[in-house]
Amino acid sequence: MADNATILATLQSRFTSGIERSDIYRDDASVTIAPEQLLDVARFARQEASLSFDLLLDVTAVDYLGQQARFEVVHHLYSTKHHHRLRLKTRVLEKEPIVDSVVPVWVGANWLERETFDMYGVRFRGHPDLRRIYMYEEFQGHPLRKDYPKERRQPLIGPGSPQGNYQPAIPEIPGLTHVEGLLGAELMRVQLGPSHPATHGTVRILLDLDGETIVNADVQVGYLHRGFEKECESGFYYQAIPYTDRLNYSSAILCNVGYCMAVEKLFGAEVPPRCQFIRVIGGEIARIADHLLCVGATALELNAFTPFLYALQARELIWDLVNAMCGARVTSNFVRIGGVSADLPAGFADQCRAAFKRLLELVEDTEGLLLENPIFRARMEGVGVMSAERLIEYGVTGPLLRAAGVDLDLRRAQPYLVYDQLDFDVPLGTQGDNMDRFLVRLAEMRQSVRIVEQCLKMIPDGPIDIDDPALRFPGKGRVYGRMEELINQFKLVTEGQKPPPGEVYVGTESANGEIGYFLVSDGTGKPYKCRARTPSFSNTQPLAELVRGRLLADMVPTFDMINMIGGECDR
Amino acid sequence: MATQTVAVRRPLAMRAGFIRSAFAILKGLWITNRHFWRNLWGFIIRKPTVFTVQFPEERLVQPNAFRGMPVLVQMDNGKERCVACGLCEWACPTDCITIYPAETADEIERYPRVFDIDMSRCMFCGLCEEACPEEAIVMSQNVEICAYSRRGTLWHKDDLLVPVDKLLDTRLFHVRRGYDR
């Protein structure tokens, strides 16, 4: 693992003129490069052995309204070999917001650049298919630009077409021009979704079928887009926490933890040990819930109803634990900036142990009904295979990548919170098919149970919050009784926490892969930019390639094992 | 402490054959039957093991941390504890709270003339409760906000007032645990 200074020095020695600025802020290395050099720098960062940034995590932009070089396109890179990170920044002019596409270097940039184009209007030269991704084609303007008012509404129809009569055009699938089917007939266009019983989550998949074989597929996301980033930018830092619940609604606490860690990193603060343990406990419990839903729903969609009920019964036990911790089952809103909302309730350890005992029995029953079942195995084994290198190129992380045998778990690669003190295994698959993905999730649940049990033994006494009036609301006893704390409470609520200007990225291991938050602070109480890099978005991207050439029926288990969560994918 | 990687164990390669399939069916029958008899026995001895709740007749006992809809705390003299400072209005991410303050000659001079919560927008996040400097707005156990019209989901001050003793053993208990942190 090369440290940040070495990474920057390597880049600077190679590109003497192209690098405009390089700095390290809060352990994040970032370089600002000239737009014409972007593709060269990207290629170099990917190929140079000491850097080998093979995983493109995120592409986004920041809108600096009023400056001549208005848009800053930001790329986040990660190396699965050395486990280090780099941020590439490119400034483009307002008049001509064009930058080179990095799709030739990382295939996974495709959707990410489409999203940046959709939201900011930055165009990417050389992009194979630059369409809007979240908004519909007829949408006017680019919603994440700072001069697009949050309140502006647009009708959901195209301009100039009479209301009610409007038929949206069925988009052409890129790369497909009048292929004659093997049977000599025309291909059949099938729309799977947006609301289909076998796609839990609203996603539309356009399929071109030759008989029952999928010739080409176009995955269209965005039906659950609700402007997460715009909402975050218009509220205070603490007001965004309930919105992070709605990203991955089946493991909300993991999303909370990532966001709060990012804000704390902006402040350069560290939470006390008890709080870190509570966050790990909450997060791992949420991870179990997420995997249970994935496992159960897969069984359901492959027509095995009983294992689904067992999995949901086990998830019910998990929700009871979450409910006792923070008062809600799904939308937990548990973690706070600089702490957690409440200490663990009395008797929580015993409640946990009792729940886990029953949970493991139920997981075993779910497994027992499925793993020996010839029908289930025929639909899972050898289906949806993709090589590890290709998956990395697509930016896939999490259980999907680990099932292909890549040892990438941020809890192990870059331990955060107290994961370095805990003893757990990282399950890896061998063949990278759907069966491996299923088994990795089952094994991870058992590891999460192990982690929570260890934490409950090791958890120290002590405060659950940072004692810092700039970050955390003071305790209610002090607010009611003392003047300074009362004033502090008023200041924090009405002005928000004010981190120093700067930008940070924090990636944590959520249930489906790396969830990362990229925050830009301008010193006020509202984030200037709050970007969530969500795993479902990157994981859904290879779906078209995973199912191409397979039967239509293979679509369902493959889609299930990707475990696309609509809220997280569409934000 | 250290982490290590382990390879997942895949089930044995499928051997086509009647015996193996029959074995899988028997195993499945064993598992489902175990659940069936267990649930039946729980039904007979009146300790149900099924997790279905017959909702309107039966209700779950929620933990005291439970966050239902926000309500206003009513003091013993029948007045609200709220002093209309407006912090909950500030903190609310969805802007569902509307307050018009007014003054009286009582000991607590300020009170909310109007205190409306639009329950159709409220997401029960509890930030109002966390912002409140007077313990005047807390989350209750009530989640039933259905109404026949949109206007019916707008709750006014009189609908929101709940006597303090009704809240003491639920959410207020949970909130006061973190009193001295």
Tokens of residue A93, six digits: 């002019």
Closest-CA distance, B69 to chain A, in angstroms, reads 11
How near does any CA of chain A get to the CA of B105, in Å? Answer: 23
Residue B44, token pair as written in the block:
């007979």
The answer for residues whose C-beta is within 8 angstroms of residue A560's C-beta and 6 or more apart is A200, A294, A297, A298, A301, A302
For A429, the closest of B8, B174, B176 (CB atoms) is B8
Distance (Å) from the C-alpha of residue B124 to the closest C-alpha of chain A? 9
Is B172 part of a structural domain of the chain? yes
The alpha helices in A302-433, defined as continuous H runs, are 305-326, 348-370, 374-380, 388-393, 399-402, 410-413
Contacts with A480 from chain B: Cβ below 8 Å: 133-135
> Any bridge partners for residue A482, and if so which?
none
Q: B142 vs A33, A120, A122, B60, B66, CA distance in Å?
A: 56, 43, 48, 12, 9
* A423 to B8: CB separation less than 8 angstroms, yes or no: no
Q: Does A343 touch chain B (CB under 8 A)?
A: yes
Q: Are residues B48 and B112 in the same domain?
A: no
Best B3, B64, B173 member to test A by mutation, with max A CBs in 10 Å, is B3
Separation in Å, CA of A314 to nearest CA in chain B? 10
Tell me the residue ranges of DSSP E strands in A163-212: 188-192, 204-210
Query: Quick one: closest CA in B to A444, which residue?
Result: B8
Cα A358 from Cα A213, distance rounded (Å) = 42
Q: Are residues B104 and B41 in the same domain?
A: no
User: What is the 3-class SS of B26-63, one letter each residue?
Assistant: HHHHHHHHHHHHHHHHHHHCCCCCCCCCCCCCCCCCCC
State whether B74 and B47 are in the same domain: no
CB contact under 8 A, A476 and B91: no
**Whole-number Å distance between alpha carbons of A72 and A122:** 9
Q: What is chain A's pLDDT, residue by residue, as a tens digit (571 residues)?
A: 568 888 888 888 888 777 878 888 888 888 998 888 888 888 888 888 888 888 999 999 999 888 888 899 999 999 988 888 999 999 888 888 889 899 989 988 989 999 999 999 899 988 888 888 888 777 888 888 888 888 888 776 655 555 545 455 555 665 555 555 555 567 777 888 778 877 777 888 888 888 788 888 888 888 888 889 998 898 899 999 999 988 888 889 999 999 999 999 999 888 899 999 999 999 999 999 999 999 999 998 888 888 999 999 899 999 999 999 888 888 888 898 988 888 888 889 999 999 999 899 999 999 888 888 888 888 888 888 888 889 998 989 989 999 988 888 888 888 888 888 888 888 988 888 888 899 999 999 999 999 999 999 989 988 888 888 888 888 787 788 788 888 888 888 888 888 999 899 999 999 898 999 999 998 888 999 999 999 999 999 898 888 888 888 888 889 888 888 888 888 8
**3-state DSSP percent of chain A in helix, strand and coil, to 5:** 40, 15, 40
Host H or E run for residue A98: strand A98-100
Q: Which residues of A touch B19 (CB under 8 A)?
A: none
Q: Please indicate, yes or no, whether residues B75 and B162 belong to a single structural domain of this protein.
A: yes
A425 to B179: CB separation less than 8 angstroms, yes or no: no
**CATH number for the domain that contains residue B134:** 3.30.70.3270
Type and span of the H or E element at A425: strand A425-428
What are the helix (H) ranges across A28-125?
38-47, 109-120
Does B128 map to a domain? Answer: yes
Contact criterion met (CB below 8 Å) for B120 and B126: no
Task: Verify that B113 and B166 share a domain, yes or no.
Answer: yes
Provide, as residue numbers in chain A, all residues whose Cβ is less than 8 Å from the Cβ of B85: 490
Annotate A300-327 with b (16+ C-beta within 10 A) or e (fewer).
Answer: bbbebebbbbbbbbbbbbbbbbbbbbbb
Residue B150 belongs to a domain: yes
List chain B residues with CB under 8 Å of A486.
133
- Residues of chain A in contact with residue B179, where contact means CB-CB under 8 angstroms, are 475-477
Question: Across the interface, which of B125, B126, B133 has its CB nearest the CB of A489?
Answer: B133
A479 and B CB contact within 8 Å: yes
Q: Under an 8 A CB cutoff, do B3 and A425 touch?
A: yes
> B31–A431: do the CB atoms touch at under 8 Å?
no
Q: How far is CA B17 from CA A460, A562, B14, B21, B22, in A?
A: 56, 32, 9, 7, 9
- Has residue B8 been placed in a domain? no
Task: State how many domains chain B has.
Answer: 2
Angle at alpha carbon of residue B72, lines to B89 and A323, rounded to 5° = 90
Of B3, B85, B174, the CB nearest to A342: B174
Task: Supply A335's token pair.
Answer: 């973690």
- Name residues whose C-beta falls within 8 Å of residue A102's C-beta, 6 or more positions apart in sequence: A38, A39, A42, A56, A59, A75, A109, A113
Which domains are seen in chain A, by residue range? 4-125 (3.30.460.80), 231-460+469-536 (1.10.645.10)
Interface test with B, best of A256, A358, A372 (most B CBs within 10 A): A372
Put simply, the answer to whether B31 touches A426 (Cβ < 8 Å) is no
Summarised one tens digit per residue, pLDDT across range B117-170 is: 999 889 998 899 888 888 889 998 888 888 898 888 898 888 888 888 888 888
Q: Under an 8 A CB cutoff, do B3 and A411 touch?
A: yes
Domain span at residue B130?
A: 70-177
Q: Is B154 part of any domain?
A: yes
Give yes or no for a contact between A76 and A515, defined as CB atoms under 8 angstroms apart. no
A313, A430, A486 ranked by CB distance to B133: nearest: A486
- Chain A positions touching B66 (Cβ under 8 A) are 323, 327-328
Instruction: Answer whether A55's CB lies under 8 Å from A80's CB.
Output: yes
Take residue A45 and report the two structure tokens written for it. Answer: 């960062």
Q: Give me the long-range contacts of A358-362 (CB less than 8 A, separation at least 24).
A: A358/A314, A358/A317, A359/A288, A359/A314, A359/A317, A359/A318, A359/A449, A360/A446, A360/A449, A362/A310, A362/A311, A362/A313, A362/A314
- Nearest CB neighbour to A373, from listed B24, B32, B90: B24
Alpha-carbon gap, residue A262 to A274, rounded angstroms: 19
Interface size, chain A vs chain B, as Cβ–Cβ contacts under 8 Å: 162
Between CA A505 and CA A500 the distance in angstroms is 15
Sign of CA dihedral A193, A197, A203, A206: negative
Cβ atoms A277, A460 nearer than 8 A: yes
Is residue B4 in a domain? no
Here the ipTM equals: 0.86
**Same domain assignment for residues B118 and B167:** yes
Asked if residue B58 is part of any domain, the answer here is no
DSSP lists the bridge partners of residue A560 as: none
Please answer yes or no on whether B3 and A430 come within 8 Å at the CB atom. no
DSSP letter at A140 equals -
Q: Hey, is the C-beta of A303 within 8 angstroms of any chain B C-beta? A: no
| Nearest by CB: A439 against B10, B135, B176 | B10
Query: Rounded distance, CA A452 to CA A352, Å?
Result: 9
Q: Does A407 touch chain B (CB under 8 A)?
A: yes
Residues B167 and B81 in one domain: yes
Residue B7 falls within a domain, yes or no?
A: no
Which residues, in sequence order, are CB contacts of A218 under 8 Å at separation 6+?
A: A171, A173, A174, A205, A206, A544
A494 interfacial to chain B (CB closer than 8 Å): yes
pTM exceeds cut of 0.80: yes
Peptide bond between residue A194 and the one before it cis (omega within 30 degrees of 0): yes
Q: What tokens appear for B68 in the block?
A: 């239902």
Residues B47 and B81 in one domain: no
Q: Are residues B108 and B170 in the same domain?
A: yes
Report the C-alpha gap between B48 and B42 in whole angstroms. 5
Q: Are A533 and A516 in contact (CB under 8 A)?
A: yes
Clarify whether residues B110 and B35 are in a common domain: no
